Amino acid sequence: MSRRYDSRTTIFSPEGRLYQVEYAMEAIGNAGSAIGILSKDGVVLIGEKKVTSKLLQTSTYSEKMYKIRRKHTHQHGSCPSPALHLHVPGAYASVGANNQAAQSLLKQDYKEDATREEAVELAFKVLSKTMDSTSLTSEKLELAEVFLTPSATVKYHVHSPDSLTKLLLKHGVTQPAAESS
């Protein structure tokens, strides 16, 4: 019966349900975690790379983030700080698996005057407690930052795996790689 009512987001079932919205919410809940945190000097975006099969070739999160940023810039014009367009109470957001736990941790530990570095540390802390993994690694995460340069241009920086590994080690949320002999 639901097949008649799940082809469009604007068609309600006799029970008053929007199946497409329910399907989307379930898909988001099963997706990898993603967190966005507004700091006083930019925005930190971090996402879990959920690999279902090594045989599947998917686009990277940075490509998706770049497309979002380009779309935002084209729709709203070049703005002095994309961070100003993060319309979320408390200026943080979390989606994906364990969303409620992540939101709770963000609500508890978020500080409005945090720097980007402190926001990165908070994101690592939240993901280390909410991801279904014993250790965070650069193979499991992708980190990007959006900020203004001293010359007032918007900079979008995606951390390389090496840079991300160094940050994870610095913040104590991963183990050093074992030396191979």
The answer to the question of residue 43 being in a domain is yes
Tell me the per-residue pLDDT of 24-60, one tens digit each, with 9 for 90 and over: 777 766 667 889 999 999 999 998 887 666 665 555 5
Check which CATH number belongs to the domain holding 27 and give it: 3.60.20.10
The answer to the question of residue 140 being in a domain is yes
More confident residue, 21 or 74: 21
CA dist., res. 79 & res. 97, Å (int): 32
Contact by Cβ (8 Å): 29, 35: no
pTM: 0.67
87: pLDDT confidence band, cut at 50, 70 and 90?
very low
Predicted confidence (pLDDT) at residue 12 exceeds the cutoff of 90: no
Average pLDDT value over all residues in the chain: 75
More confident residue, 85 or 123: 123
The answer to the question of residue 75 being in a domain is yes
CA dist., res. 44 & res. 176, Å (int): 24
The answer to the question of residue 175 being in a domain is no
Predicted confidence (pLDDT) at residue 118 exceeds the cutoff of 70: yes
Find the domain containing 120 and state its range.
18-170
DSSP SS3 for 52: coil
The answer to the question of residue 34 being in a domain is yes
Tell me the per-residue pLDDT of 128-173, one tens digit each, with 9 for 90 and over: 888 877 778 888 899 999 998 889 899 999 999 999 999 999 988 8
The answer to the question of residue 122 being in a domain is yes
90: pLDDT confidence band, cut at 50, 70 and 90?
low
Specify the number of domains making up the chain: 1
The answer to the question of residue 181 being in a domain is no
